[in-house]
Amino acid sequence: MTIAEILSYGFIQRALIAGTLIAVLCAVLGVFLVLRRLSLIGDGLAHVTFGSVAVALIFRINPVYVTLASVPLVLLSSLGILKLTERARIYGDAAIGIVSSLGIACGVLLASVAGGYNVDLFSYLFGNILSISSTELAISALLFGVVMIMVALFYNDLFAITFDEDLARSSGIKTDLINKVLVLLTALTVVLAMKVVGIMLISALLIIPAVAALQVARGFRATIVTAAGFAVFSVVAGIFGSFALNLPTGATIVIINIILFVLAFACKRFFLK
């Protein structure tokens, strides 16, 4: 089958568009999260998403709207992680661990109450980008627009708090507000990404392109652009590769990301130093 023939399928077109949008979002936010040592927040919020998907499935919410139904709970959880860090004086990774465990425990309990794991729940756990509908694509495009506008508006503030929070505060930047913006945008992105790589592998899309870009990029803006390039390549190549070889798409995307990271690391090790 030629690439043109593959591209003629509507579900492939939708998967490529949605995948590209989500790859860009994950990569851009991933650079900030990795440098702020909040890499695993995506994982934690993904586990909360598991709980919220279970709730949505119990209430027999139309699968098309499960993504939207998950948004409020995941947004609240992201703020919960910040509050735990501030108020309970615990480190960010521990706060992520607590919220993550709560999310997955609730998800398992609710799934059990609802009569066990079904096909829908599995598609969220491991991703099923090839099944994205036109409505889900429209929702993805809308959320992509919201997140990118916010990132553009707060880019300099996000850069400043990522470089050093105290320095940012001494410049009059409201660091508490910007931290909230970062985790809320991450929460929205996680909800979007669950259909691409699945809840289990979301953190890969947030972390690996950013870490790969950090190996080779020269400058902060360049790191973000490079990470986005890596992420888009991995998603596009993953969709084509998985379709051609009849492999699970989410896992293929993650493996391609890992290969890109190894290549970037080798490039830094042997050519850039």
Partner 1 sequence: MQLDVLAIDGLCFNYDGNRVLDGISFRVQAGDYLGIVGPNGSGKSTLIRTVLGLAEPAEGKVELFGAARAQFSEWRRIGYLPQRIKFFNPNFPATVEEVVRLGLLAGKRIPRAVTRGDDEAVGKTLELMGITGIRRKLIGDLSGGQQQRVLLARAVVGGPELLILDEPTTALDPETRENFYLLLERLNREQNTTVILVTHDTWSIGKYATRFLYLDKKIIFAGTFDDFCRSPEMTSFFGEHAQHLICHRH
Note the residues at the interface with partner 1 (CB under 8 A).
35, 152-157, 159-160, 163-164, 166-167, 169-173, 214, 217-223
Residue closer to partner 1 (CB basis): 120 or 165: 165
Q: In the chain, which residue ranges form alpha helices assigned H by DSSP?
A: 3-7, 10-35, 41-58, 66-87, 92-113, 119-126, 134-163, 165-169, 175-193, 202-216, 220-245, 249-267
CA dist., res. 183 & res. 45, Å (int): 10
User: Shortest gap between Cβ of 96 and partner 1 (angstroms)?
Assistant: 20
Please identify, using beta-carbon distances, which residue of 9 and 164 lies nearer to partner 1: 164
Cβ-based nearer residue to partner 1, 101 or 156: 156
Nearer to partner 1, 91 or 163 (CB): 163
What is the nearest approach in angstroms of partner 1 to the Cβ of residue 220? 4
In order of 34, 120, 235, the CA distances from 25 in angstroms are 14, 25, 12
- DSSP 3-state assignment of 61? coil
Give Cα separations from 268 to 225, 233, 249, 264 (angstroms): 17, 19, 29, 6
Q: Which of 16, 273, 30, 256 is nearest to 147 (CA)?
A: 30
Token duo for residue 31? 């650079």
- Please enumerate in sequence order all residues whose Cβ is within 8 A of that of 208, keeping only pairs 6 or more positions apart, or say none: 230, 234, 254, 257, 258, 260, 261
- The Cα–Cα gap between 112 and 264 comes to 43
CB of 91 to partner 1, least distance (A): 17
Please state, in angstroms and rounded to a whole number, the distance separating the CA atoms of residues 4 and 250: 22
C-beta closer to partner 1: residue 77 or 223: 223
Q: Which is nearer to partner 1, 57 or 211 (CB)?
A: 211
**Local structure of residue 200 (DSSP, 8 states):** G
Minimum gap (Å) between residue 218 Cβ and partner 1 = 6
Which residue's CB is nearer to partner 1, number 153 or number 262? 153
